[in-house]
Amino acid sequence: MNRTMKNIWAITKKELRIYFTTPIAYVVATIFLLLVGILFYLLIREFNSLSFNAARNPYYYQQLNINQMVYSSLFFWMSLFLLFLLSLLTMRLFSEEKKTGTDELLYTSPISINQIILGKYIASLILLTIILLLTGILSIFSFAYGNPELAPILSGYLGLFLMGAAFIAVGIFFSSLTENQIISAILTFGIYFLFLFLYIASLFTGGIAKDILNYISFFRHFNDMTRGILDTADIVYYLSFTFLSLFLTHSVIQSRRWR
């Protein structure tokens, strides 16, 4: 077990070193933080304006809810930003190894396929966690301008992390299919867009079709978490999707290793 963890951590450190010694991590983090910062400022400014106007009417003032008016919109847009940006983080994980030929050295090493995949996956998760934690600093301002509930904010961030973890696993799978990083990013983003389309389609359907689309869609499960609703079915959904994507990645690499 100790040897296994060392191998996984060795791969993780290697990938983190690449992330932080090349522009990709800084570019992705900067773009994401800039977009989230601008959006947060606009939402807080709008909430501030409504609070000022409603201050003369105690009833309307009590109806203002910073979690619903700021964080619900913020989390939704953050999830959309992650759709695009995480595809940039994962596109090179296996594609670059295959293009440069270093994948053969990696696959013939004593390190198992599972350890390779987990090492790369954990490195991406660490970077995702750092980026999400940096956006959490913005919440200081929400407590200064309002009285938000902490539980929905924490569950919203948990939802973002689980969704991001699933996105990363999908991106790793497509990165294992091709040596072209651009194609890997396009395929990953295409799948993300498909799930967004399914969510939008569920808004215009009813009956069994609506239930099926809601269950399949990434966003329906995420929406509950942004409202502070923690359902084990939502957590199981994201974990299952992550496991399935990593399993498919293992199958692809395993078939290539034995050619």
Return mean pLDDT, the chain: 82
Nearest-angstrom CA–CA distance, 185 and 178: 10
Q: What is the DSSP letter of 196?
A: H
Q: Could you state, in order of their start, the residue ranges of all structural domains in the chain?
A: 2-257
- Asked whether the predicted pLDDT for residue 56 surpasses 80, the reply is no
> Alpha helices, DSSP H only, in the chain?
2-21, 23-54, 58-63, 66, 72-90, 95-100, 102-107, 113-136, 139-145, 150-175, 181-202, 207-216, 218-226, 232-257
Type of residue found at 43: L
Amino acid present at 151: A
Burial of residue 17 (CB within 10 Å: 0-12, 13-18, 19+) is exposed
d(CA 236, CA 58): 42
What confidence score (pLDDT) does residue 57 get?
63
The whole-model pTM stands at 0.87
> pLDDT-derived band of residue 114, with 50, 70 and 90 as boundaries?
confident
Q: Whose structure tokens read 């296996």?
A: 94
Q: Is the pLDDT of residue 160 over 70?
A: yes
